[in-house]
Structures are given as C-alpha cells and as structure tokens.
A and B are shown apart, each in its own frame.
Chain A
Amino acid sequence: MHVTRDFSHYVRAAGEGVQHIDLAVEGVHCAGCMAKIERGLSAIPDVTLARVNLTDRRVALEWKAGTLDPGRFIDRLEELGYKAYPFETESAEAAEVAESRLLLRCLGVAAFATMNVMMLSIPVWSGNVSDMLPEQRDFFHWLSALIALPAAAYAGQPFFRSAWRALSAKTTNMDVPISIGVILALGMSVVETIHHAEHAYFDAAIMLLTFLLVGRFLDQNMRRRTRAVAGNLAALKAETAAKFVGPDEISQVPVAAINPGDIVLLRPGERCAVDGTVIEGRSEIDQSLITGETLYVTADQGTPVYAGSMNISGTLRVRVSAASEATLLAEISRLLDNALQARSRYMRLADRASRLYAPVVHATALLTILGWVMAGASWHDAIVTGVAVLIITCPCALGLAIPTVQTIASGAMFKSGVLLNSGDSIERLAEADHVIFDKTGTLTLPDLEVMNAADIPADIFELAGRLALSSHHPVAAAVAQAAGAKSPVVGAVEEAGQGVRATVDGVQLRLGRPSFCGAEALVGSVDPEASIVAFSKGSEKFVLSVRQGLRPDAKAVIAALKARNIGIEILSGDREAAVKAAANALDIPEWRAGVTPADKIARIEELKQRGAKVLMVGDGMNDAPSLAAAHVSMSPISAAHLSQATADLVFLGRPLAPVVAAIDASRKALHLMRQNLWLAIGYNVLAVPVAISGVVTPLIAAAAMSGSSILVMLNSLRARSASREIV
C-alpha cells in the first residue's frame, strides 16, 4: 500500500506565484532555536520566507508555487530536532487578533490625544493662577477640543458600540456609564468653551478613555494568547486520518478534509480521529476516552467507533459517518446541551460591581444638580458640578481592577501549565470547595506502564522489549518502551490476536497471551485493570502486568487538596474493583464506580443543593456534560476534544500538580481583585464629596484619576508571585 501525505488543505496562495503555510512547532523557546530553524528552512531552494514567531510558537513559510511539497519542511524540522504540524488559524483566533489590533490602534490614538491635550492644559492651569488672558485661554481650549473630539470619537468606539448593544437589549453594562460620562464631559466642555469659562474637561475625558483602553487591551491580549496556544495544541494533536483515495492507495489527510461516506484505514495502535462504522476487519478497541471503561471492546463489521478510541490489535476499515449519529454520543450530547442551557449565567465580579456602580453614580450626579438648584445656584452651575461628579467618579480604576489581575494571574498560571478557556474561570475556580475527579485518564495517565518490571530479570525484560518492537499492539508498545528497547529481534513473526514469536540462537521466544506462551499457570490473582502479557524464552516463563499507572504526584496533590479543606471524591465510569484500587491508593474514601454521564450530573446537582461549589476534573467524552454542569471544570490536555472545549481550564503535562497550583493562583487573584475594587471604591468615597461641594477643578480631577489607576495597577502586579511549587 502506498501512503502519501496531503497538506493541500493548509496551503494558501500568498500573492503572485507564492504559496504560504503556517506550522505549529513544538519546543521552540529561545533565540538559538529561532536562528537554527530559520537558517535550516531558508537553505531549502525556492523558499522565499521562513520566519519564526516565538510568541505563538509558529513558523510562517513561503515558497515559489509548485516547486516544493510542504512535507519537506516538516521532515527538515524533524532533522533539526523539532516536531512540527501544519496549522490552520481558527476563525475564533482570527477574530481575537483583529479585536486586539483595533484596541491597540484606539489606545495609540487616545494616548496621543491625551499627551497633546495635557500639553495644552498645563499652561491653562498655571495661567489661571497667574496672568493668562481670557482670549489665550479660549484659544487653548479650542485647540484641545480640536484634538480631543475626533480622538474620542475614534478611540471610544469599543465602548460606544458595546454600550449601544447593551441599551438596545434593554440591559446595562460597564460601558453605559463610561459612554455617558465621556460624552457629557466633552459636550459640557464645548459649551463651557463657547461661554469663555475658566474650566474645561477635555483632558479628563480623553485620559479616562486611555486608562480604560489599557484595561480592555490587557483583557483582550490574555484571551488572544490563550487562543493561540489552544490553536497550537489542536494542531499538535495531529488530527489526520488515513483515507482511501483509490482501491489500495491511502493518503494521510487532515480530519477537516474528510467527509461523511469516506473510507479510512485504522491500523493497530492508532487513535481513531473520526466517528464511523467498521465495514471490514476485526479488532479490539480501547474506549476509555469515551466511556472511562478500561477493558477493551471487540469491534467487527457494523460496530460503531468514535473519535478518540484507540485501535488495539487488528486493522479496520471504517466508513465515516457524520458526527454523533451514534446512540451513545447522542445521549451524551443531549445531556451536554441540557447542562449548557442550565449553566446559570455566572455573574462576573466586574459585572456585579458595575451593576451597582452605574445607578449609584448617576443618582449621585442627579441629586447634586437638584441639590445645588434648591440651594439657589443657577442651572448652568449646577449642571457643571453634576458633570464634575460624573468625571471624578470615573470608573477607570474600576475598569482596570479586574483585567489587570486576570492578565497577570493567567500569565502565572500559564507558567505552571494551565490554560484558561474563559476570563471568569479564575473567579469561579477560587470559590471551589469540592473536587470531583474522573479516574481513567485524569487520576491515571493515559499511557500504559509495566507494573511489575522490577520483578523480572533485566536481561529477560530487555529481550521481551526487543521482541515487543515487532508488534503494533499498544500493550506491546508499552513493554518495549518500559524496557527501553531499540533494536527489534530479527525474524519476529506476529500472529494476529495471539502475540509475537521469534527464534534466537535456537531458542524460541514468545510474547503475547498467556495461552500463546503456555504460561496460564503463572497468572495468579489478576489485577482488574491490568492486561497480562506473558513472555517465554524456551521453557522459562514470565508474566508482565501492564496497566495505566496513577499520575506520579497524584497522592501528593490529593493530600495538598485535603490540607486546603477541599472535599474530594471519585466518580468513574469504570468497574468497581478498578476504581476501588485507585481510591485506596490515593486515600480517598468517597468514590463511586460504574457511573453514567447522567449519574455524574445528578451527583453534581445533589452537591449544588447542599451549597457546595464543585470543581469537576475529567477527560472523557462521558465527562463532558458534567464538566458543563459543574461550577468550574478542568481537563488534562490528553482529554477528548469535546471535554476540552467544555472545560474552563486545561492543564498540560503528566503531573496533576497544576490542579492545585491553579486553585492557589485563582484564590490569590480573587483576593487581589476584591482588594482592587475596594481601592477603587475607597477613592470614590473620598473624591465624591469634594466633587459634590463643587470645588473640583480639571487639575484635581486629572491628578486623582491617574493616581487611583496607577495604584490599582501596581497592586495587581502582586498576582505575579501566584505560581508556587506545591508538592
């Protein structure tokens, strides 16, 4: 059979006779890597551009159309020691990038205008206490207006749009008071300038926009970075399938280019990337990622297979069906839809603050106006004072309080191997007081380990590993890896469904089922989760027990969670004996086995009734509904796609430690957010009486505003130390 790699799905034209491809590259982290990759790829003839993006860990390549197969780049990077995968920008990420560029442009315009208006305001402030002529002051005010009005009209777009959307939907958000404040301040300043007044607030209005845009940009940048990493991870998970493009011609194509009705080949040891039905072949499949069940299921003609299943022993031909036609998935997706609908819209801290903020501030301004009128002031003076109240209570510190902490905390989490899917997950994670773990693939590692390697003589074990290299069976692969075998045994023959045999120096070697090696007598008390593999060298016989091991630091993490007074339990779809063993090993008294997705949700609801805030940690397709139903959820990077998309946080690597690190970081971040809000409110409590009494000048407003914003930003920097080692 002939196999080709097809990258046409990822290649796009980049102008006249030039083609472009983006690759996500693993393991690029310094200038050395960057130079090495760029030089190595530029050396290929006809390559017109090779540029590494170190922030996003990607490389952009362009070459003269039709001269090269993109596969060469991947092979070249392989030679240089980097794994690379073709990469497709998702629309979500493209939108985030466009949004953050718009914010940066607005920020540039606002900052430019702020500086120049300030340059004109300072002469006015100092002139007001010395010998400035009214004509000169008016001239400066008109100049300020000339700069501030167009700049605010441009840079205020993000706020005006979002405020308009909120008002059209008859709700309110933080942007409504911001827009009202800015527009009123500018309008009043123009009117005052026409009347040759002493004070105008052009500088305050545009400075307010600048500070708010900084907060907005930080917020957006955090989301963009997360999206970029998530996009890379999607590419690194190498979603390709072997599709039949002819009777016996196969092409390795990206899943995105596969349609229902196509036939794909599933070889032993491969993970299935599509949903479909087996049309030919017999094999066992491991569905632990779908159901949490660690025992293998037999698959032959007519058996449905799901994306994420691992093919174990035989070769299968699978006809691709449209996603989730299958009954099991239909049940899961129905539960998931229900859970997503029931997901009570969590009121974010920022929204809760703004919900209180807007009415209070507007009422205060209105009462100020009325109060002054009753006290005998003119309407004009009363309104000027009222607008001064709106300006001085500017929400800039409030608008910075949360995004700055989120940005810095997410950066700290990033370093400890945790990615955020949504900004408010930090707040929800900080509230979690009860953790539910799935077992398979969450507490345990998804790959297999040889449990009794220490009991087998080293030379025998190494020989078994070398023999195992000749089989595609995942259990054999685990033996080969554990033994560190490099060179396969010459002349090894695989007997499908039985094992591998070879003859070395006249001695027969066999590795496979106990019956295949005549070692049934040795199989004693069977570990419920283990696959037993036998190895015979002539008449010497050994059995190896292969199973998923617990994550290396699982026990320490559970202890750390207990120390933080967090309740822990296991809910697993696996069989009782298997779950019990893990629960005992980790010292978790609360566990349930054989749990269906619906049962998991029921248990979460039960805990919710009791007032617990549940963190669900799971990886299987069967966990997706409960990940959505829980207060906050995490999944490992090895999780099924559906689960990863549903979870609020995704953690990387083999250890479980990121779970605790994320809880700690989020608790610290929430504490800082609250502190920031109190700082902002405290500033307002001090500033408002001054504004109501009518003695606020533009100078005082500017000083107080920037002072409070800078204080809040400095306080947020304390979130940097959030990532500590826990174990």
Chain B
Amino acid sequence: MEILVILVPLALMLGGAGLVAFLWSLKSGQYDDLDGAAWRAIADEEPAPEAPPKR
C-alpha cells in the first residue's frame, strides 16, 4: 500500500499536466477556428502562419 504514496501524486500530476496543456491551448487561440483547423490538417502545403496571439 506504500506504493500509493508515489502513484497517487503521480496520477494527479499527469492529470494536472493535461489540464495545464488544455488551458494553454485555449489561451493561444487554438479553439478560435475549429473548421479552419480541420482543413489545415489535410492541406498539402507549407504550414500556415501562426495564429495571432490573443490580446
């Protein structure tokens, strides 16, 4: 059972990392144009310009 002392915080840290990643992606405007993002993924050209940072 002592293993819990390591595993539980580890699990929480992984979940927390996921949350932080989500909040970052939201902040950097990745949810602003879902239709466009869907098309960009299959466009066969050089990558599109960066999304404008949200002010």
Interface residues of B in 6-55 (CB under 8 A from A): 8, 11-12, 15-16, 18-19, 22-23, 26, 31-36, 39-40, 42-43, 45, 48-52, 55
B1 to chain A, nearest CB (A): 7
Interface of B is mostly: helix
A241 to chain B, nearest CB (A): 30
Beta-carbon contact of B52 and A35 below 8 Å: no
- Counted as pairs of residues, one from A and one from B, with CB atoms less than 8 Å apart, the total is 70
Question: Could you tell me the distance between the alpha carbons of A47 and B15 in the complex, rounded to whole angstroms?
Answer: 41
A190 to chain B, nearest CB (A): 19
A131 to chain B, nearest CB (A): 12
Interface residues of A in 549-581 (CB under 8 A from B): none
Beta-carbon contact of A35 and B45 below 8 Å: yes
Contact of B52 (CB < 8 Å), options: A54, A62, A112, A116: A62
Beta-carbon contact of A54 and B33 below 8 Å: yes
Beta-carbon contact of A54 and B39 below 8 Å: yes
Residues in chain A near residue B18, CB distance under 8 A: 112
Beta-carbon contact of B31 and A104 below 8 Å: yes
Question: Could you tell me the distance between the alpha carbons of A14 and B50 in the complex, rounded to whole angstroms?
Answer: 15
Q: A105-B23, A105-B26, A112-B19 are in contact. Are A51 and B35 (CB under 8 A)?
A: no
Interface residues of A in 133-153 (CB under 8 A from B): 136, 139, 143, 147
Residues in chain A near residue B50, CB distance under 8 A: 49, 51
Is A42 an interface residue when CB atoms closer than 8 A count as contact? Answer: yes
Residues in chain B near residue A139, CB distance under 8 A: 4
Interface size on B, residues (CB 8 A): 29
Residues in chain A near residue B42, CB distance under 8 A: 31
Interface residues of A in 14-55 (CB under 8 A from B): 14, 20, 30-31, 34-35, 38-39, 42, 49-55
Residues in chain A near residue B8, CB distance under 8 A: 120, 143
Contact of A54 (CB < 8 Å), options: B1, B11, B26, B36: B36
A481 to chain B, nearest CB (A): 34
Beta-carbon contact of B33 and A56 below 8 Å: yes
Is A108 an interface residue when CB atoms closer than 8 A count as contact? Answer: yes
Beta-carbon contact of A55 and B36 below 8 Å: yes
Interface residues of A in 142-189 (CB under 8 A from B): 143, 147
Residues in chain A near residue B40, CB distance under 8 A: 31, 34
Beta-carbon contact of B1 and A53 below 8 Å: no
Beta-carbon contact of B55 and A14 below 8 Å: yes
Residues in chain A near residue B52, CB distance under 8 A: 14, 20, 49, 51, 60, 62
Residues of B within 8 A of A (CB): 1, 4, 8, 11-12, 15-16, 18-19, 22-23, 26, 31-36, 39-40, 42-43, 45, 48-52, 55
